[in-house]
Structure 1
Amino acid sequence: MSHATMNSTPTSQNGMTLEPTPELLEELAEASARLETATPEEIIAWGAERFGSGLTMATAFGPEGCLILSILSRVAPETYVFNLDTGYQFQATLDLRDRIAEKYGLEVEMLRPELSVPEYEAAHDGPLYVSNPNQCCFDRKIKVLHRGLAGRTAWMSGIRRDQSADRAQAAIVGWDKKFNLVKISPLANSTKQEVWGRIVKEEVPYNPMHDQGYPSIGCWPCTRAVIDGETDERAGRWSGTGKTECGLHSIDQQEGSGI
């Protein structure tokens, strides 16, 4: 997969900078309503046609992301895709990147924070995920995401509305106030069963930890397997802290909030 050169100013397919004008917001609302009953393939194809090289995707290699990558390989293989490599990812997640590349020919770029894990922990007198997980997410995910989105006008996510209260409000297409570009969620109206049905049927590579009680997988210090009786598939993330989101998809738009 070829990666388009990233510019400092977000531009649309025709080189125009995108701003959340009333006209653009109306266009996005109309597109979102029209695509509400579309297939993920149709939504992704629309995004690739509308935004061209301005379209990108950040993936954590969750089941939804893997399904989208399998579709991208057929519909828009030139799309720039990246992973927020915090330095705390499970080895199984890193290995999955290689399996995806081998099957689909998609090279997912690993974007890393400026400081390595040892440097970061030394600067904060120990692991910050213990004392301040919000700040850890902000430094090692949100800041890196801003870098990955530089020069882009639209990004795709693998969120589903049935995953959490924050995500229940997700539009198929909308303006992302936090990152100042268009956000496209091809699987927003898909269910967990529908996603996994396609993964099994189409033999999409996925993280084997999902078969070991980990429905949602993030960084290893802040992820555990769910236990019997837990119905929230994100119950194993930041367990016991009251934290449910890293900040990439939270609805609170204040800088750094909700992470």
Structure 2
Amino acid sequence: MDKIRQETLKNWNEQIDQLSLKESIAWVLQHVEGKVVFSTSFGIEDQVITHYLEPHYDSVELFTLDTGRQFNETYEVFQKTQSKYPNLNIKTYYPEETDIQEYYSKSGVNGFYNSIEERKQCCFIRKVKPLNKALDGASVWITGLRAEQSANRETMQFLEWDADHQLIKFNPLLLFTLEEVEAEVDQYNIPINSLYKKGYLSIGCAPCTRAIEPGEDFRAGRWWWENGKKECGLHIHTDQNN
């Protein structure tokens, strides 16, 4: 990252450090130029952000990635969200049919269980490529990431430079605890995925997600047959100074 951009982001982070969630979103939309997008997977964090973006729906492009392997409960909360926020428009991005056909031919319909490499390839086809399309031309990408979700997210900032996508990533819920997120849901009657209260704290594709057991890590239910970091490639945190 060049020194000027690094200093700018440092200054902006200091500006919003003490602001509320509502205030920080308004500040970023007022002070950071360019196209702003928000990616939602309809997880509990994303639902809270969708609620707080309601006054700004005209200023932010909301989108979701339909991988084709999602839980029906995810589509149900999608519908409930549209009903609660009638002015909401969520654009949907899908994987390329030819990519899916090639993957099935080479690895099989559930080839992602065979190896980490084949799982990552499936994530690339179903998530990363559609995401790249969705982020095309964007200057700011709003996410629902929180620092306590996993160890490799603890060094994040509210505003940080995403070198892979050449844009600013904004993490408004960065310092929220899960209990604080749940409190927002309760206070504003925000619809959430019905699987959440069944132990699915991190919900992805149906074949790759299970409920977590008491005491397990937040993301233990994602790709549970693998060891190591549980990421699909959408949010790979890189050094701020690179």
Q: Same fold (TM over 0.5)?
A: yes
Alignment-derived partner of residue 113 in structure 1: 95
Alignment-derived partner of residue 220 in structure 2: 235
- Per the normalisation by structure 1, the TM-score is 0.84
Q: Matched residues in 2 for 1:154 and 1:139: separation?
A: 23
Structure 2 SS opposite 1:83: strand
Q: Matched residues in 2 for 1:22 and 1:197: separation?
A: 39
Alignment-derived partner of residue 164 in structure 1: 150
Structure 1 SS opposite 2:224: coil
What root-mean-square deviation, in Å, do the aligned CA atoms of Structure 1 and Structure 2 show?
1.9
Structure 1 SS opposite 2:151: coil
How much has 1:75 moved relative to structure 2? 4.0
Instruction: Verify the 8 A CA contact 2:33 2:139 in the aligned structure 1.
Output: no
Instruction: Verify the 8 A CA contact 1:86 1:112 in the aligned structure 2.
Output: yes
Alignment-derived partner of residue 11 in structure 1: none
Instruction: Verify the 8 A CA contact 1:53 1:79 in the aligned structure 2.
Output: no
Instruction: Verify the 8 A CA contact 1:222 1:239 in the aligned structure 2.
Output: yes
Code of the aligned partner of 1:160 = R
Instruction: Verify the 8 A CA contact 2:62 2:90 in the aligned structure 1.
Output: yes
Alignment-derived partner of residue 130 in structure 2: 144
1:122 to 104, 111, 117: 104
Q: Matched residues in 1 for 2:103 and 2:80: separation?
A: 31
Matched, 1:94 2:80: no
Which residues of structure 1 form unaligned runs of 5+? 1-19, 254-259
Greater mean deviation of Cα atoms: 171-180 or 50-59 = 50-59
- Per the normalisation by structure 2, the TM-score is 0.89
Q: Matched residues in 2 for 1:75 and 1:40: separation?
A: 13
Q: Matched residues in 2 for 1:145 and 1:50: separation?
A: 25
Structure 2 SS opposite 1:174: strand
How much has 1:72 moved relative to structure 2? 0.4
The superposition leaves residues 191-231 of structure 1 with CA deviations (integer Å, 9 ceiling, x where unpaired) of 1110001101110010010111111100011100112332x
Matched, 1:153 2:139: yes
Structure 1 SS opposite 2:236: coil
Q: Matched residues in 2 for 1:54 and 1:31: separation?
A: 18
How much has 1:48 moved relative to structure 2? 1.6
Which residues of structure 2 form unaligned runs of 5+? none
**Aligned residue pairs: how many?**
233
Identity among equivalent pairs (%): 34
Say if 1:138 and 1:117 are closer, same or farther in 2 by CA, change over 3 A.
Answer: closer
Alignment-derived partner of residue 257 in structure 1: none
Say if 1:120 and 1:219 are closer, same or farther in 2 by CA, change over 3 A.
Answer: farther
Instruction: Verify the 8 A CA contact 1:45 1:76 in the aligned structure 2.
Output: no
Alignment-derived partner of residue 182 in structure 1: 168
Code of the aligned partner of 1:61 = F
